[in-house]
Amino acid sequence: MEWEEHPSPSSATRYIAALIESHSAMVEETVELVLAATDPSLGDPESIAKFLALQANWVAHVHGDIEAAVGLLRGRSEDLGPYARILDAAEVSVRTYLDRVPEDFPAKLELVDGLPVSVQLALLETQMLVLVTGCRFSDARNVFQMIETLDPQASRTQPRVLLGLALLGQGLHSEALRVLMNGFEESRGRLDTEGVRGFGAAAAICHTHSGDYSAMDELLDAVFVVGEPTPFPPGAQIALLTVAANMASRRGQTLLAERYAGDAQRYNLADGPLPGQSLAWPVSQLLILNGRPAEAADELWSSGEQLWHRKAYFASILSMLVALEIKPDAERLLVAQRHLESIPEAAAMQAQGKYVAALHDHDPRGMMNAAAELAQTGRFGLAVGACQLAAQWYGESGEHERRLQALEYVSRIRSDAGEVDLDVLRFNSYRTVLSERELEVAELAAAGLTNKEIATQLVISVRTVDSHMHRIMRKLDVPNRRSLSHHLGQGRSRP
């Protein structure tokens, strides 16, 4: 083995990178040994800097000791010349992921003339992390163009993942999904597990954003099959477990949803600064599934407040808006609206902000305006739900022509989305909206039984089954039995 024969920083970095692809207790012991036994004097400034950055990430993410990691980075920088800037990038990254965006990040990440390419790439990638986290999406895309110029082969996963999230935040959903799925397929092709996890997690967030779960089972299976999560870069695994818990909750699979939430806690994953990277998401899904939506909203709101304090504005505002979607609240709505004013580039969240405002005010016209913006930003499931609410309110006030217009817009949105089975229930499991008898009928229909066969099995009339099926389709907003089967699908157990 190369490292055993020559325990240099460069061989140690390569060895550890390979080891943590299959993270386990035995791997941790080996990594600790390699970190302790590597001889820094055998390396050049670049390899020493990369080794120290790796070691600091290990101390921060595995040991949970941010200050020790920062101390490690600051203790050796004077020996490394321009490569010391790699340590600056590592410090900002560690603090952003695990604490909060540092106040001095502009100085830490500033590019100056004469820096080696590897140093520029480290600084620019960390700039992208901070910019996307803070909803400065245009600046993040400009930085990505600089990275592309320096690294035309796109050898680094994280910049493209961050580009996809920046596009998503700007409301450019189809472009975001294309970037992320291209990266995902390329990573699968070259057996790059970090890329599979990173691109897969971000693509899963894209699908939940649009409400299109049609490809989610296949995507999650492909990601989970690569094994246990690596300790860093963090965030991807908790986002994946969040989406998996969300799907299980939608299908009423309490035990499976609890398992995914438990996995996130078992891995001792810290809340990340990007969308979907907070334990509050799977926890809130379980609370909703157990009939405690107000507590779920409080959990998400509290998480959003903490993330805002960390300057993780993208993840924060999403959490706050969903809390308001679950439990409208006048005081919290004002807070969210003030936050939205400070992040004008976040088009997707601006549209969602209009949705929760109309929801709070019971305003059908405002809800239709929100639906139009939601559809434009690729939030098709939420847009359909907005139209249906507006139609309901118009019907209640006797404005039947406007009610019909709202329902017609639903058809247009579905067509634009590609006629996929959209998630309109959002944070409500089908088990919480169907009666016990409707649930029996729905699950038999999803299993392939005809109405006559269902009537025979349940000892009720075919006409009664027909009536139940009509209500089930309406409540779940599914167009046919095939979509019903997909919606209630039992999902495969994952490692």
Residue 154, in any domain of the structure: no
Query: Which range in 101-110, 257-266, 473-482 is most confidently predicted, on average pLDDT?
Result: 101-110
Q: Tens digits of per-residue pLDDT, 319-331? A: 999 999 999 999 9
Residue 361, in any domain of the structure: no
Residue 457, in any domain of the structure: yes
Yes or no: say if 274 and 453 are a contact pair by the CB < 8 Å rule.
no
Lowest mean pLDDT among 57-61, 288-292, 424-428, 448-452: 424-428
Residue 422's beta-bridge partner residues?
212
Q: Tens digits of per-residue pLDDT, 38-90? A: 998 899 999 999 999 999 999 999 899 999 999 999 987 668 999 999 999 99
Residue 131, in any domain of the structure: no
Residue 323, in any domain of the structure: no
Whole-Å CA distances, 374 to 172, 175, 355, 431: 11, 16, 8, 27
Does pLDDT of 490 surpass 50? no
- Cα separation of 342 and 171, whole Å? 17
pLDDT attached to residue 148: 97
Q: How confident is the model at residue 492 (pLDDT cuts 50, 70, 90)?
A: very low
Q: Tens digits of per-residue pLDDT, 8-35? A: 999 999 999 888 877 677 888 999 999 9
- What is the chain's percent helix, strand, coil content, to nearest 5? 75, 0, 25
Helix (H) or strand (E) holding 167: helix 157-169
Residue 153, in any domain of the structure: no
Which percentage of the chain shows pLDDT scores above 90?
Answer: 63
Q: What sections of 20-79 are H helices per DSSP?
A: 25-37, 45-61, 66-75
**Residue 448 is part of which domain span?**
434-495
Give Cα 51 distance to the centre of its chain. Answer: 29
Does pLDDT of 489 surpass 60? no
Mean pLDDT rounded to a whole number for the chain: 90
Structural domains counted in the chain:
1
pLDDT attached to residue 40: 85
Q: How confident is the model at residue 255 (pLDDT cuts 50, 70, 90)?
A: confident
Q: Tens digits of per-residue pLDDT, 277-306? A: 998 998 888 888 777 889 999 999 999 999
Does pLDDT of 352 surpass 70? yes
CATH code, 482? 1.10.10.10
| ∠ CA 55-61-63, rounded to 5° | 80
Does pLDDT of 375 surpass 60? yes
Which position has the higher pLDDT, 263 or 94? 94
3-class secondary-structure state, position 38: coil
Six token digits for residue 158: 């994280």
Q: How confident is the model at residue 241 (pLDDT cuts 50, 70, 90)?
A: confident
pLDDT attached to residue 432: 55
Six token digits for residue 407: 């329902």
Residue 483, in any domain of the structure: yes
- Among left, alpha and beta (phi > 0; psi -120 to 50; other), residue 212 is beta
pLDDT attached to residue 68: 97
Residue 121, in any domain of the structure: no
Q: Tens digits of per-residue pLDDT, 84-114? A: 999 999 999 999 999 999 999 999 999 999 9
